[in-house]
């Protein structure tokens, strides 16, 4: 039976990427050696790293604009710390849109002062705050483009008078944005880019070198840039699979092409949530995420029936995050429209049955 994988991350990857990566594990580029047993300093792997770095910049439209791409380790959670270590001198402004923003704020506070420019905490993070101002004398402004857990997404970004840092872990490469608005973007690979194990950091070089503290080498963006993202042994498999996924996206027509599919998938699921009286959406309509649709059953007594029907239809990974419950359909780039249609079919079947 075909499994429809709505997992929130790690999550579905393109079949052809899985196939090519499994081949590379057995025999990388007909070398007779596995990708996993060659030196990361060997030319074949250095080429992989360079290709992955330049594809990331190309797809985001940031080539030749003073940006560098790095594939680092430690997940997006390590970036919460690295951003502050490298950029925070006195005070930074953070937009609090949920669990991940909170975690970023908590880590930055270890180093210096953090001010929440706005928060949607009082409403259980079901919307994106708007109309806030960003103080000009702060070191940087930090936001989270897509709130994976609560299912909200920033549809527009402020014109920040100070460097803008964005955690794009759960919607990078999914929609067209003017990426030059951002001075630092980071994203764990395990949603729209590849397997867990590497984090993409795209950084405008000229924002670095402005803090007075000593930064440990492995935490220093400048060190990673100077070493072409090879300061220490990189996560070779995760970088390789990310490179393949970026190639897959480029061959599809890049971000403009995938954005159309993503918009279609979101339209299909949200119209069912709105039309079917058995379900209600979690987030306010204008801020709904095209990546993670969060919803609940109006009557929890139907949960067992609905869960059984989902299982029978091969729908997997639909449980809401452990902190909020309910359901969450994660519809990352590699999830086909057909999977969303299969889910919607089960939802409307439940209506007929109930
Ligand atoms: C928006 C966002 N930021 C940060 C993280 C944490 O990422 P990691 O587990 O790679 O540290 C996640 C994980 O799901 C996320 O969705």
Burial class (CB in 10 A: 0-12, 13-18, 19+), 131: exposed
Q: What is the pLDDT of residues 171-230, one digit of tens each?
A: 999 999 999 999 999 999 999 999 999 999 999 999 999 999 999 999 999 999 999 999
250 as an active site residue: the answer is no
Residue 321 has pLDDT above 90, yes or no: no
Confidence of residue 99 (pLDDT cuts 50, 70, 90): very high
Quick one: which atom of ligand 1 is closest to the CA of 144?
A: 1
pLDDT of residue 64: 97
- Is 41:228 a contact under the CB 8 Å cutoff? no
DSSP string, 102-129: HHHHHHHTTTSEEEEEEE-GGGTT-S--
Q: What is the pLDDT of residues 230-242, one digit of tens each?
A: 999 999 999 999 9
Task: List the structure tokens of 166.
Answer: 């964005």
Task: Give, in order, the Cα–Cα distances in Å from 167 to each of 76, 154, 205.
Answer: 8, 11, 17
Q: Does pTM surpass 0.75? A: yes
Closest CA to 294 of 276, 277, 270, 278: 270
Strand order in the sheet with 292-297: 279-281, 292-297, 327-330
Q: What is the pLDDT of residues 134-157, one digit of tens each?
A: 999 999 999 999 999 999 999 999
Rounded distance from Cα 170 to ligand 1 centre (Å): 7
* CA dist., res. 287 & res. 94, Å (int): 18
pLDDT of residue 123: 96
Burial class (CB in 10 A: 0-12, 13-18, 19+), 64: exposed
DSSP 321: P
Q: Which residue has the tokens 């070191």?
A: 139
Residue 162 has pLDDT above 90, yes or no: yes
> In sequence order, what are the residues at sequence separation of 6 or more whose Cβ sits closer than 8 angstroms to the Cβ of residue 29?
44
Q: What is the pLDDT of residues 20-48, one digit of tens each?
A: 999 999 999 999 999 999 999 999 999 99
Rounded distance from Cα 299 to ligand 1 centre (Å): 31
Tell me whether residue 41 is annotated as binding: yes
Q: Which of 68, 171, 191, 287 is catalytic?
A: 191
Q: Whose CA is closest to atom 5 on ligand 1?
A: 76
Q: What is the mean pLDDT of the chain?
A: 97
Confidence of residue 354 (pLDDT cuts 50, 70, 90): confident
Q: Is 71 helix (H, G, I), strand (E, B) or coil?
A: strand
* CA dist., res. 108 & res. 140, Å (int): 12
Tell me whether residue 228 is annotated as binding: no
Residue 292 has pLDDT above 80, yes or no: yes
Structural domains of the chain ordered from first start? 15-252 (3.40.640.10), 254-353 (3.90.1150.10)
Q: Which residue has the tokens 């079947």?
A: 349
167 as an active site residue: the answer is yes
* CA dist., res. 283 & res. 192, Å (int): 22
Tell me whether residue 170 is annotated as binding: no
- Is 25:195 a contact under the CB 8 Å cutoff? no
Rounded distance from Cα 85 to ligand 1 centre (Å): 19
Rounded distance from Cα 147 to ligand 1 centre (Å): 10
Quick one: which atom of ligand 1 is closest to the CA of 103?
A: 4
- Is 209:222 a contact under the CB 8 Å cutoff? yes
């Amino acid at each position: 039976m075909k499994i429809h994988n709505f997992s929130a991350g790690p999550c579905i990857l393109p079949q052809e990427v899985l196939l090519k990566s499994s081949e590379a594990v057995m025999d990388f580029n007909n070398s007779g050696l596995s990708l996993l047993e060659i030196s990361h300093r060997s030319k074949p792997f250095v080429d992989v790293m360079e290709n992955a770095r330049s594809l990331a910049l190309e797809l985001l439209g940031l080539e030749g604009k003073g940006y560098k791409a790095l594939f680092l380790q430690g997940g997006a959670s390590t970036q919460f710390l690295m951003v502050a270590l490298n950029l925070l001198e006195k005070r930074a402004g953070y937009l609090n849109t949920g669990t991940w923003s909170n975690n970023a704020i908590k880590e930055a506070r270890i180093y210096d002062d953090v001010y929440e420019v706005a928060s949607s905490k009082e409403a259980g993070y079901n919307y994106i705050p708007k109309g806030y101002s960003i103080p000009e004398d702060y070191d940087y402004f930090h936001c989270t483009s897509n709130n994976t857990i609560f299912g909200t997404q920033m549809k527009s970004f402020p014109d920040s008078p100070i460097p803008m840092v964005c955690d794009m872990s759960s919607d990078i490469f999914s929609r067209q944005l003017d990426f030059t608005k951002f001075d630092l973007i980071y994203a764990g690979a395990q949603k729209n880019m590849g397997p867990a194990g590497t984090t993409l950091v795209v950084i405008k070089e000229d924002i670095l070198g402005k803090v007075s503290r000593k930064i440990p080498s492995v935490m220093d963006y400048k060190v990673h840039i100077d070493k072409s993202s090879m300061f220490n042994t990189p996560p070779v498999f995760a970088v390789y699979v990310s490179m393949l996924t970026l190639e897959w996206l480029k061959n599809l027509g890049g971000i403009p092409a995938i954005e159309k599919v993503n918009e279609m998938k979101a339209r299909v699921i949200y119209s069912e949530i709105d039309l079917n009286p058995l379900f209600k959406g979690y987030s306010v309509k204008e801020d709904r995420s095209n990546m993670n649709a969060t919803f609940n059953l109006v009557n929890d007594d139907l949960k067992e029936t609905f869960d059984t029907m989902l299982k029978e239809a091969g729908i997997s990974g639909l449980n809401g995050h452990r902190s909020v419950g309910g359901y969450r359909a994660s519809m990352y780039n590699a999830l086909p429209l057909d999977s969303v249609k299969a889910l919607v079919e089960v939802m409307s079947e439940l209506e007929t049955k109930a």
